[in-house]
């Protein structure tokens, strides 16, 4: 860490800073430049990042040198993490396609969609039993019953299921019934929930928050890993910007960036990112081209009657076509699908 | 609600839309313009806002006419809500100043700060016992013990306390120990937590999410109110933008906007909004001038050693001065402090 | 256009609004709903969009029905525009690759890079003679001399050249020397410059502003077309968001969106979008997968000594590889390169 | 400047970096930490900021120590700049209120508004003769004739006038007719225009770009000052964010921040910032409380018929009230108005 001093910092202020660093068990190295004096701090940067050093008189700014995370970093673990979910590998050469309805609605519908996405080549079934909705008057999901429908669909198709948890009190339920626990964008910084899923080894799909930086995203993954759970997937699902043509702005540069900084698999959700069914196909293809390890897609047999996010769901026939298109691109970038 | 049809929408598509609206119990009124045909929908707009109407073939866009909230709106309740917290009125002519340390650290420190902010004129004591920290390696708060320190400070000073809840499992604890339950920015869309605090009548201070629109902010308040709790305060605490000079961008236009749209009191937190102690005073004064009903300020006797957010905390002497300055501005805008 | 009235709008206010619309030559149609009265306005929406209707007493909000642009819209011209630049077609089935140094520096360097990018398959040479730099102390470009170097490179390689104009006073120079005139992101709303290039039929590459919405972007293209110039290309080059890992956030969903709303060709610039050379390849591939009509890439034989944006430039060998990779993806999405 | 090396940087790469720095006339100081080696660079940081150092193999990141501007900085000039515009002082203890119509429309109207704002206490008349409009179909201003109307208003009232320039070719005209030349938000990075107004000593009001950081804003002011013109005022007018309730988000924390970093006067424009007349008064008051040196307000006698931005203009009577309210707040913060 580098501490930049104000041009008018007094000797007494500098001494005070050096003393304070010593109290924290750190050594400091003064370096006087033409216009600024700086203090290089030797020791664990991560301790310092929690100290309010800019509150010290005479300090102009503080520049961290090290990333604030550890377990998630590529520096810590060179090889990419491959997560095994009931035999499906996520993070390897083959892309994982997770598809299904936004919300679980009826048993037959859920099972029907599961059969269709499996036939088209999906390897994981997605479906929301507990739905985080912006309005209290929107459909809130079937809850426990919805999870049971997913289990029935898994039984019939063999597809492992991913579903979103909303409340720490439901952890037992999800450990029992889901194959991957999803932490949604709105809960990316619900730290109690992160700690809870971190305490087990059940795979977690962590979605990037609506306005989370890459740094905050990785720190949330670090929360989970620091509790012991190594099976974390990162999911880019669009960030909030000023543009109103789509629900969010899909940030595909996040894919190579996350893969460079971290060893964790990166999944992309073009459905929630755009909120528009006709953008799902081009953005899925782009995500594959940019190096994603998997794609999470909303598929519904009757979008116009879907109880949640029908405007961004594609029909099974459209999904089948998209699978073929994505497969060609996967091959073009040296991957399988 | 207005449904705008695509210029190439077929008659069959139009009929299908009208049928679908009828199924939902709504009447429709067709109007053919020079370049577009539109359908005016008569009935409760709020039902429609949950329907994926843009998924219907032939629909170009859907324009809502009514706001999606009800209980929070000024239209629903003309008079401003005044919340009574142990005798302190929030939302009336007199501004409520809530001050104290970011995190509760030690008993004597907490009690000492409480005495100082009270002497300067604060009417509520703030302090975090459970801290939502971006990094898992940062101080996470004292938990239950921290709440007890706050209670001791309340006992000695008479100041009601506001503290942040992070987990639905802690609701009983907060109902017992806090006077106002704070929902932090990162949990503004933790809907399970909103529902939980909505089930009681304990006052709630709801912070605006980092990238929450005014609309989403009010819908989160609606979540709480829809469960029965009428004692909700809205807290503007800065939004995320591209600017990196301050932690967040304080959105003061939110004050008159929220007061126009809603009857709920509006509090401003300049400490978290800016993340810089030297911006706290000018932004507090600006918030009072813009019509805030209260200000939430971090005060710490020794910011450079604070375990949390010391860089944005002001010292008690500085707070005392600020109180005097804010009082002059309050008078200039016809309020008391 | 739909005018939504306030719930407390008086009869007199309504009459006044209707009168005002009549003065503007428009008919109005009143429709009374359960909670709001609305006025449907019949006539050219575009006249209305310039009227301050929300300033009329009794008006709650105004909802436009029609897009504010005309000439750029897909509705106005069904077939995609194909622009011919010295025999190179932009907007057809074959993608146009524009490559070259950020800034033109020396004659031999420029000609050398031109030969290399041509050999790799590029069809247009890019190079900045006039450079818009954030700091007045940065290299500002060679000016007229730089344009002459580009002309020499064109003479030797046959590649048409694209270069950025900064000042209306340089229009004659660019008409004479450039094959495509680039309007940079910072000048997207320099309306005098838009009008100037609109007065000729020289092809224009219009870059999206740093924080321009799709709507504003298309309106800037409309400025050019409304003056008569039909040869406009739209260039997505990243937008400003809160993320600081890359210079800008490349918005690839803009590609299918622009192609749906407009008939103009869409080019993507991954170099400026990311500001990092190692993100150029994945983002170029993603752009091709998402349906771009062309890619604009910075290539420099010695990036570490480049006078401008060396950190985002790739070397010719890397560019050659990228061309091969993009070609595979182009084929996978049914295009040529 | 600090160069942080990658953990895997080879000795050869380090030598190469040091050599490159030497070529640029700079000394370097290696410092090996536990997890990273860093190079402290001694010499003028501003040279380095134009070098693509991250393009050098082995470099992880580059951290600037010094601000990239010089002439605008408070460090360069301790005392606040006071600009004299025809006897009106801007930047001193007394606030400057600039008021008038968005666009100059008719002579009598312009003169009438000028008399009214003067009577209420304004000291500068604002009015647009050349209007930068998002749509080519909107009113583009009266041009030269509009400037003449402003001159007539000045003649009758004695108020100096501020008006916006759009094109470098109009510089002579503005030097002759305007007292303050305004550079609008959309032209904040029209560097040719900045250089042009920088070549004279005519006062310039520079507006912050829609998505300009504080850093970019100050660099644009530096452009003007680096050409010799010392009479620059900075104008905060709202930045672009995701919020859609107001046209822009007024960033009032920019006031104390700009005043700390720079010696230039800071003006606030609440009309363009919000785009809503009913937010002008609270935001003007907040700006005064936050320490602004002046306020720029749109006033129109008949907003509903204004040819430009009527929805954000206030009427003269409302302006008069606002002046009284602002005066009270100015006094409360130790200023005059």
The residue in chain B having the minimum alpha-carbon distance to the alpha carbon of residue D217 is B243
Closest CA to C80 of C334, C266, C294: C266
Which residues of chain A make contact with D34, given a CB cutoff of 8 A? 42-44
**Do B175 and B182 contact (CB within 8 A), yes or no?**
no
What is the predicted pLDDT for the residue at B24? 85
What is the predicted pLDDT for the residue at A32? 84
CA A144 to chain B, closest CA, distance in angstroms equals: 15
Asked if C313 has any chain D CB less than 8 Å from its own CB, the reply is yes
Asked if B334 has any chain D CB less than 8 Å from its own CB, the reply is no
**Cα–Cα distance between C206 and A64 in angstroms, integer?**
38
If phi > 0 it is left, if psi is from -120 to 50 it is alpha, else beta; for residue B149 that is alpha
The residue in chain B having the minimum alpha-carbon distance to the alpha carbon of residue C44 is B34
C-alpha R_g of chain B = 23
What is the predicted pLDDT for the residue at B205? 98
Interface-testing mutation among C8, C33, C42, C69, with chain B (most B C-beta atoms within 10 A): C33
**Do D296 and D269 contact (CB within 8 A), yes or no?**
yes
Which residues of chain D make contact with B255, given a CB cutoff of 8 A? 282
What is the predicted pLDDT for the residue at A310? 85
Residue A264 in this model has a pLDDT that exceeds 80: yes
Q: Give the nearest partner residue to D136 out of C51, C222, C313, using CB atoms.
A: C222
With CB atoms and an 8 Å threshold, state whether A253 touches C249: yes
Asked if A42 has any chain D CB less than 8 Å from its own CB, the reply is yes
Asked if B42 has any chain C CB less than 8 Å from its own CB, the reply is yes
Q: Give the nearest partner residue to B256 out of D239, D242, D279, using CB atoms.
A: D279
What is the predicted pLDDT for the residue at C42? 80
**Do B58 and B178 contact (CB within 8 A), yes or no?**
no
CB atoms within 10 A of CB D42: 15
What is the predicted pLDDT for the residue at D26? 85
How does residue C55 score in pLDDT terms, banded at 50, 70 and 90?
A: confident
Instruction: Compute φ and ψ for A2, nearest 5 degrees.
Output: -115, 130
If one compares C305 and A142, the residue with the highest pLDDT of the two is A142
**Contacting partners of chain D (3+ CB pairs under 8 A):** A, B, C
With CB atoms and an 8 Å threshold, state whether B36 touches C240: no
The residue in chain D having the minimum alpha-carbon distance to the alpha carbon of residue A70 is D35
Asked if B240 has any chain C CB less than 8 Å from its own CB, the reply is yes
What is the predicted pLDDT for the residue at D31? 85
Q: How many angstroms separate the first and last alpha carbons of chain C?
A: 44
Q: How many angstroms separate the first and last alpha carbons of chain D?
A: 44
What chain B holds in terms of domains, given with CATH numbers, is: 2-63 (3.30.70.1140), 83-332 (3.20.20.70)
What is the predicted pLDDT for the residue at A196? 97
Chain position carrying tokens 């810089």: B276
With CB atoms and an 8 Å threshold, state whether D329 touches B329: yes
As a whole number, mean pLDDT of residues A277-299 equals 97
The predicted complex's ipTM stands at 0.95
CA D288 to chain C, closest CA, distance in angstroms equals: 25
CB atoms within 10 A of CB A22: 11
**Cα–Cα distance between C289 and C252 in angstroms, integer?**
10
How does residue A295 score in pLDDT terms, banded at 50, 70 and 90?
A: very high
pLDDT in tens, D87-126: 999 999 999 999 999 999 999 999 999 999 999 999 999 9
**Pair type for strands D83-85 and D59-63:** unpaired
Which residues of chain A make contact with D239, given a CB cutoff of 8 A? none
Which residues of chain B make contact with D287, given a CB cutoff of 8 A? 286
**In chain B, which ranges are E strands?**
2-5, 27-32, 37-42, 59-63, 83-85, 88-90, 96-100, 124-126, 161-165, 180-183, 204-207, 232-236, 266-268, 294-298
How does residue D310 score in pLDDT terms, banded at 50, 70 and 90?
A: confident
CA B30 to chain C, closest CA, distance in angstroms equals: 11
Alpha helices, DSSP H, located in chain A: 11-23, 45-48, 107-120, 144-157, 171-177, 191-198, 214-226, 254-261, 270-274, 277-289, 316-332
CA C296 to chain A, closest CA, distance in angstroms equals: 17
Which residues of chain B make contact with A137, given a CB cutoff of 8 A? 46, 49-50, 68, 226
**Pair type for strands C37-42 and C2-5:** antiparallel
How does residue A34 score in pLDDT terms, banded at 50, 70 and 90?
A: confident
Q: Which residues of chain B have pLDDT under 70?
A: 45-46
The mean pLDDT of chain C is 94
Residue A52 in this model has a pLDDT that exceeds 90: no
**Do B60 and B86 contact (CB within 8 A), yes or no?**
no
How does residue D25 score in pLDDT terms, banded at 50, 70 and 90?
A: confident
**Contacting partners of chain B (3+ CB pairs under 8 A):** A, C, D
**Cα–Cα distance between A8 and A14 in angstroms, integer?**
11
What is the predicted pLDDT for the residue at C132? 92
With CB atoms and an 8 Å threshold, state whether D223 touches C136: yes
How does residue C54 score in pLDDT terms, banded at 50, 70 and 90?
A: confident
Report the C-alpha dihedral over residues D314, D318, D324, D326, rounded to 10 degrees.
-30
What is the predicted pLDDT for the residue at C31? 85
Pairs across B and D, CB distance < 8 A: 127
Asked if D95 has any chain B CB less than 8 Å from its own CB, the reply is no
With CB atoms and an 8 Å threshold, state whether C75 touches B7: yes
With CB atoms and an 8 Å threshold, state whether D66 touches A36: yes
Q: DSSP string of A260-280?
A: HHB-S-EEE-HHHHH--HHHH
Q: Give the nearest partner residue to B52 out of A167, A169, A310, using CB atoms.
A: A310
Residue A29 in this model has a pLDDT that exceeds 90: no
**Cα–Cα distance between A325 and B267 in angstroms, integer?**
52
pLDDT in tens, C12-48: 999 999 998 898 888 888 888 778 888 988 877 667 7
Which residues of chain C make contact with B66, given a CB cutoff of 8 A? 35-36
pLDDT in tens, B18-42: 998 898 888 888 888 778 888 988 7
3-state secondary structure (DSSP) of residue C298:
strand
What is the predicted pLDDT for the residue at C265? 98
Burial class (CB in 10 A: 0-12, 13-18, 19+), D155: exposed
What is the predicted pLDDT for the residue at C25? 85
């Amino acid at each position: 860490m580098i501490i930049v001093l104000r041009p008018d910092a007094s000797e007494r202020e500098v001494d005070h800073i050096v003393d304070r660093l010593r109290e924290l068990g750190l050594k400091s190295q003064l370096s006087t430049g033409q216009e600024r004096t700086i203090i290089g701090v030797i020791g664990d940067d991560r301790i310092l990042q929690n100290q309010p050093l800019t509150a010290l008189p005479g300090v102009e700014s503080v520049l961290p040198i090290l990333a604030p995370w550890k377990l998630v970093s590529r520096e810590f673990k060179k090889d990419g993490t491959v997560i095994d979910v009931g035999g499906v590998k996520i993070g390897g050469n083959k892309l994982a396609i997770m598809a299904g309805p936004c919300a679980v609605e009826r048993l037959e519908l859920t099972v029907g969609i599961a059969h269709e996405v499996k036939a088209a080549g999906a390897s994981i079934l997605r479906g929301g039993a507990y739905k985080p909705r912006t309005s209290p008057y929107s459909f809130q999901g079937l809850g426990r019953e919805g999870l049971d429908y997913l289990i029935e669909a898994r039984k019939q198709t063999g597809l492992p299921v991913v579903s979103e948890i909303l409340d720490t009190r439901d952890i037992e339920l999800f450990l029992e019934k889901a194959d991957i626990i999803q932490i949604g964008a709105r809960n990316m910084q619900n730290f109690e929930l992160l700690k809870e899923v971190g305490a087990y080894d059940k795979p977690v799909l962590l979605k990037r928050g609506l306005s989370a930086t890459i740094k905050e995203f990785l720190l949330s993954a670090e929360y989970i890993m620091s509790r012991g759970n190594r099976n974390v997937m990162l999911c880019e699902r669009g960030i909030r910007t000023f543009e109103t043509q789509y629900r969010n702005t899909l940030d595909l540069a996040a894919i190579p960036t996350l893969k460079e900084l971290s060893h964790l698999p990166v999944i992309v959700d073009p459905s929630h990112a755009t909120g528009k069914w006709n953008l799902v196909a081009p953005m899925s293809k782009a995500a594959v081209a940019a190096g994603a390890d998997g794609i999470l897609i909303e598929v519904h047999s009757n979008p116009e009657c879907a109880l949640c996010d029908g405007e961004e769901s594609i029909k099974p026939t459209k999904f089948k076509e998209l699978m073929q298109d994505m497969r060609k691109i996967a091959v073009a970038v040296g991957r399988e699908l």
